[in-house]
C-alpha cells in the first residue's frame, strides 16, 4: 500500500469515527420520526428500530473486520461511507413511499401482528444497508 497522508494524521481517522457514529444516531432518531406517522412511536416500534440497527451494525462490524484484514486501504472505507451517505440522503425523499408500498403489500397478506411485521420490514429495507456500511467503519479504522 502506498504512503497515505491520511494514515499519518490520526485526527482524520478520529473525525471519521466521530461522524460515522453521529450519523448512526441521527439515522436512528430519523427512523423514529419517519415511522411514527405510519406505525406510531410506541415501545414496539422503538424496539424494532433499535434491534434492526443493532443487527445491521453487528453484521457491518463482522464484514468490516474481514474486509480490513484482506485490504486495509482507506479508499474502500471512504467509498463505503460515501455510498451510505447517498442512501441516507435519499431516505427522506423515498422513505415514505417505501413504507406505503410495504404496508400496501402486507395489508392483504398479513392478518395478525401487522404493525410489527410492517415496521420491521420497513426498517430492514430502508435502514439496514446504510447502517451496515457505517458498521464497517470501526473495524476498518482499527486495522
- Please measure the distance between the N-terminal and C-terminal CA atoms of the chain and give it in whole angstroms: 13
pLDDT at site 110: 75
pTM: 0.86
pLDDT at site 140: 85
d(CA 38, CA 30) in angstroms, rounded, equals: 14
Q: How confident is the model at residue 20 (pLDDT cuts 50, 70, 90)?
A: very high
Residue identified by cell 481517522 is: 13
Report yes or no: 131 and 24 within 8 Å, Cβ to Cβ.
Answer: yes
Q: How confident is the model at residue 113 (pLDDT cuts 50, 70, 90)?
A: confident
Residues 94-106, mean pLDDT to the nearest whole number: 91
Report yes or no: 23 and 134 within 8 Å, Cβ to Cβ.
Answer: yes
d(CA 83, CA 51) in angstroms, rounded, equals: 23
Crossing angle of helices 74-107 and 10-39, in 10° steps, is: 0
Q: Which three cell numbers stand for residue 81?
A: 461511507
Amino acid at each position: 500500500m502506498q504512503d497515505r497522508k491520511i494514515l499519518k494524521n490520526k485526527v482524520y481517522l478520529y473525525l471519521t469515527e466521530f461522524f460515522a457514529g453521529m450519523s448512526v444516531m441521527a439515522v436512528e432518531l430519523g427512523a423514529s420520526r419517519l415511522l411514527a406517522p405510519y406505525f406510531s412511536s410506541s415501545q414496539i416500534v422503538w424496539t424494532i428500530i433499535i434491534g434492526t440497527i443493532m443487527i445491521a451494525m453487528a453484521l457491518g462490524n463482522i464484514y468490516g473486520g474481514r474486509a480490513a484484514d484482506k485490504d486495509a486501504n482507506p479508499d474502500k472505507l471512504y467509498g463505503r461511507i460515501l455510498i451510505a451517505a447517498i442512501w441516507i440522503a435519499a431516505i427522506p425523499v423515498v422513505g415514505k413511499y417505501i413504507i406505503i408500498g410495504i404496508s400496501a403489500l402486507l395489508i392483504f397478506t398479513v392478518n395478525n401482528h401487522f404493525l410489527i411485521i410492517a415496521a420491521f420490514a420497513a426498517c430492514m429495507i430502508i435502514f439496514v444497508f446504510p447502517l451496515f456500511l457505517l458498521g464497517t467503519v470501526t473495524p476498518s479504522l482499527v486495522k
